[in-house]
Chains A and B, each alone.
Chain A
């Protein structure tokens, strides 16, 4: 009878992983700040798990929320193209790190939008306020003022540039280029695709006469449907140069800047060229069949188009839940737009609202999320103090300059961002939200190096000044101390309850003993710390 009862008993269903407050806090912290929480935060939250809304408010005042905002916006606007934003280090940039300049160019549009979010302004301000933000590199390339005595990033006088938010940010158009025949249409398409989620270039091109004489964009009925919309929008962008090639800049300096167009500062925005649409054969500037006076009125019209906030909501939810934003149900998007509207169109308010949903940080969450490379690097740095930078050119640079310090998880020319699952913004347009071999290799390599750093630096310090290894010395052999130290690692990094007798801790003690027996105690600590930094639950959260 007893046997029968046992056989018929319901199988034990594991509790939902996010029922654990530690796991829930880890997920919320990664979604808001892009890094895992501290040991103190975990301990406090376990004692008071109802405090998540307040914690999110506090986190949103931290610099790492701003960094996370930039990560998200980069995924939408694809500006961090460090492998493409390469300029010769000549003139005022002589001796400057080439990679650092490329990084600054990618960051500038994001810094501006970050300010809008951090200051609690309506997100429509990214289109309706002055967008120029510069550091010394951006200032030198585009000829904007930067006070060396001030903060790194500053809002300069934008000069004659229209007040059009990111649409008047010089580096955005350094990334999103156009050509003579394209006639600024690619920049108009940036607005339709990235800001309105209503891209036009996916529509099939009709077969017809495309010779210049045919002027098909204006006369071929199958073409005009799109071009009636795209071309007036494109006309707003005249004034910004099409692109700048490395050899154009080099050649300009070889010619002693006789033509200063491609010497720094680049002649990038020319107000007298704003009427160039006429010469290019485009119709007058407009948006959705209504005339626009200039780029500022165009940007303002985009900001008030209902598709802008809907697209913003789609992209944010898609980013937080790692789903394709264009597949989200309309009802969900409508609800998110309502949330935005109810909070003065503040992106941080929608961010918090989504993070607090049971389907995101609660027991309705359908499955684990994958840590992005940017968040992994930030988490490891937060915990160990280690940020992986490399020097890819130790032999030195040519006259045109080179990169001497590369952030491995935020770079694709030399680094591992795309191998770790990220996007490069140019060829790799979307991140990969699934485990892969190269992602695992990159994560393990980062973990091993960070463990190397942590163990080396910790054992060089007095115990009370260490980050992690406060209970042991290289000479410590006693299993009890080792076990307690490992339990601390599990608690502080993985967010597990402190339990020296747990199965997980026992497994790592076995690992420690095995490596110590064959190598050394120090090597054993490297192995254990590396194993946990690369733990599967660090990737799947």
Chain B
């Protein structure tokens, strides 16, 4: 389906106004902490609250520095441990002015898959990155998926999977291709001449199919023609993801593709352990690595002049129980938190809250203020708010972020 077909078929979508088109096109990076994180160990501090473990059980009493504390940085309070998770506070020191923390998000489920659907898709038909890749400013790829978690919905042709091990590299650059077993084939590429001939042959074949098939399969043929153009752009860009084994490298690839004008949106896996049914203490390291990578990302976006045009959303589909289980782990909990940065959003703020039982408090969606007269903050309201902040919206009850 070509973009114009998509737009024609979706009355619920309102693109950015023509006036907005004069400003640089927005970009979206969604980082997903896949597995369900414990907000009380970073974004939603509950130090000293009875019944909420957070990182307390992991303190090394022999190390006076290894203590769980609440750090207040600007208007944002976070859970801090200078030994186990120093990068969290460091991140907010550097970038808190551009950060919005959202607390008390209700997942409506305790199972990974439906929670991930709601986290990534909200009320939409595809995940946030794919939706924005289809609807935002046109780029060859639309969205890129480095997580394998894209929900392409009606726009499978607007999201390119790059492979969790960076397999895209050896499709566009055979020099990085693992050797084939057996001696009859080489890793050499087609070569420019043969590749050009192949492209021309495909184009000519599609043209002949137009005549032979008429209206039959016209949508797929158009998608194929688009895919051919995207593939050529991918070959040209030749993103080297062959050594991408960390979030940091994935984010750098993402920024590179966006800077080159190839991608509008990206979905990236945090590549960290969050689903800690046993040994919840593993999450300290996960948080530390996550925030180091996010700091690098913000730095890179700033250096390239992309920070105010690029909205970074860090989401996790679940929270964790306030208590530790028999294996010192934490199980699924239906209240989670999120972190939004850049994209021209106001920063240095917290939206929503949880009570001492780690249950979300009602908020006024139009202001983000906690109020008894408000409503439960659903994931759908957050994702709707994110799309609205990017200039795409529907009439649903969205959290106002701008």
Contact of A368 among B171, B197, B216 (CB under 8 A): B216
Contact with A along B320-331 (1 / 0, CB 8 A): 010101110001
Enumerate chain A residues within 8 angstroms of B321, measured Cβ to Cβ.
Answer: 210
Contact with A along B157-177 (1 / 0, CB 8 A): 101111111011001101001
- Residue ID in chain B nearest A367 by CB atoms: B217
- A527 and B194 in contact, given A389-B182, A413-B165 (Cβ under 8 angstroms): yes
Contact of A440 among B179, B197, B231, B332 (CB under 8 A): B231
Contact with A along B119-143 (1 / 0, CB 8 A): 0000000000000000000001100
- A201 and B185 in contact, given A392-B178, A419-B168, A435-B157 (Cβ under 8 angstroms): no
How far apart are the CA atoms of A389 and B152 in the complex, in Å?
28
Tell me whether A436 and B156 are in contact (CB under 8 A).
Answer: yes
Given A456-B185, A536-B205, 6 more A-B residue pairs with CB atoms under 8 Å apart are A17-B213, A186-B111, A432-B156, A438-B171, A440-B231, A527-B198
Tell me whether B211 and A536 are in contact (CB under 8 A).
Answer: no
Tell me whether B152 and A432 are in contact (CB under 8 A).
Answer: yes
Tell me whether B164 and A370 are in contact (CB under 8 A).
Answer: no
In the complex, identify which listed stretch (A27-35, A61-69, A154-162, A421-429) lies at the interface while the others stay far away.
A421-429
Provide 26 A-B residue pairs closer than 8 Å at the C-beta atoms, listed in order of the A residue.
A14-B216, A17-B216, A202-B109, A204-B109, A205-B334, A211-B357, A367-B219, A389-B180, A391-B178, A391-B180, A418-B163, A427-B147, A434-B1, A434-B156, A436-B230, A437-B141, A440-B224, A441-B234, A452-B186, A457-B184, A507-B205, A511-B200, A530-B194, A531-B197, A531-B202, A540-B217
How far apart are the CA atoms of A205 and B198 in the complex, in Å?
53
Whether A534 is near chain B, meaning CB under 8 Å from some CB there, is: yes
- A210 and B333 in contact, given A424-B148, A531-B202, A534-B202 (Cβ under 8 angstroms): yes
Tell me whether A531 and B114 are in contact (CB under 8 A).
Answer: no
Contact of A540 among B159, B180, B220, B233 (CB under 8 A): B220
Q: A418: shortest Cβ distance to chain B, in Å?
A: 6
Whether B17 is near chain A, meaning CB under 8 Å from some CB there, is: no
Tell me whether A515 and B194 are in contact (CB under 8 A).
Answer: yes
- Residue ID in chain B nearest A450 by CB atoms: B185
Tell me whether B148 and A427 are in contact (CB under 8 A).
Answer: yes
In the complex, identify which listed stretch (A168-176, A289-297, A348-356, A518-526) lies at the interface while the others stay far away.
A518-526
CB neighbors of A among B212-270 (8 A): 212-214, 216-217, 219-221, 223-224, 226-228, 230-231, 233-235
Whether A75 is near chain B, meaning CB under 8 Å from some CB there, is: no
Enumerate chain B residues within 8 angstroms of A527, measured Cβ to Cβ.
Answer: 190, 194, 197-198
CB neighbors of A among B92-128 (8 A): 106-111, 113-114
Enumerate chain A residues within 8 angstroms of B277, measured Cβ to Cβ.
Answer: 179-181
- A439 and B227 in contact, given A17-B213, A416-B171 (Cβ under 8 angstroms): yes
How many interface residues does chain A have, given as a range?
35 or more
Tell me whether A202 and B325 are in contact (CB under 8 A).
Answer: no
How far apart are the CA atoms of A418 and B162 in the complex, in Å?
9
How many B residues, CB 8 Å from partner?
86
Q: B202: shortest Cβ distance to chain A, in Å?
A: 6
Tell me whether A389 and B185 are in contact (CB under 8 A).
Answer: no
Contact with B along A232-267 (1 / 0, CB 8 A): 000000000000000000000000000000000000
- Residue ID in chain B nearest A181 by CB atoms: B331
- Residue ID in chain A nearest B198 by CB atoms: A531
How far apart are the CA atoms of A410 and B191 in the complex, in Å?
27
Whether B376 is near chain A, meaning CB under 8 Å from some CB there, is: yes
- A508 and B201 in contact, given A394-B178, A435-B220, A449-B180 (Cβ under 8 angstroms): yes
How far apart are the CA atoms of A14 and B210 in the complex, in Å?
10
- Chain B CB count within 10 A is highest, among A437, A440, A511, for A437
Tell me whether B221 and A540 are in contact (CB under 8 A).
Answer: yes
Enumerate chain A residues within 8 angstroms of B111, measured Cβ to Cβ.
Answer: 186, 189, 201
- A456 and B184 in contact, given A202-B114, A367-B217, A437-B231 (Cβ under 8 angstroms): yes
Enumerate chain A residues within 8 angstroms of B23, measured Cβ to Cβ.
Answer: none
- Residue ID in chain B nearest A243 by CB atoms: B277
- A514 and B148 in contact, given A210-B334, A388-B180 (Cβ under 8 angstroms): no
Whether A473 is near chain B, meaning CB under 8 Å from some CB there, is: no
- Residue ID in chain B nearest A189 by CB atoms: B111
Contact of A370 among B110, B168, B220, B228 (CB under 8 A): B220
Enumerate chain B residues within 8 angstroms of A207, measured Cβ to Cβ.
Answer: 106, 334, 359, 376
Tell me whether A507 and B204 are in contact (CB under 8 A).
Answer: yes
Whether B209 is near chain A, meaning CB under 8 Å from some CB there, is: yes
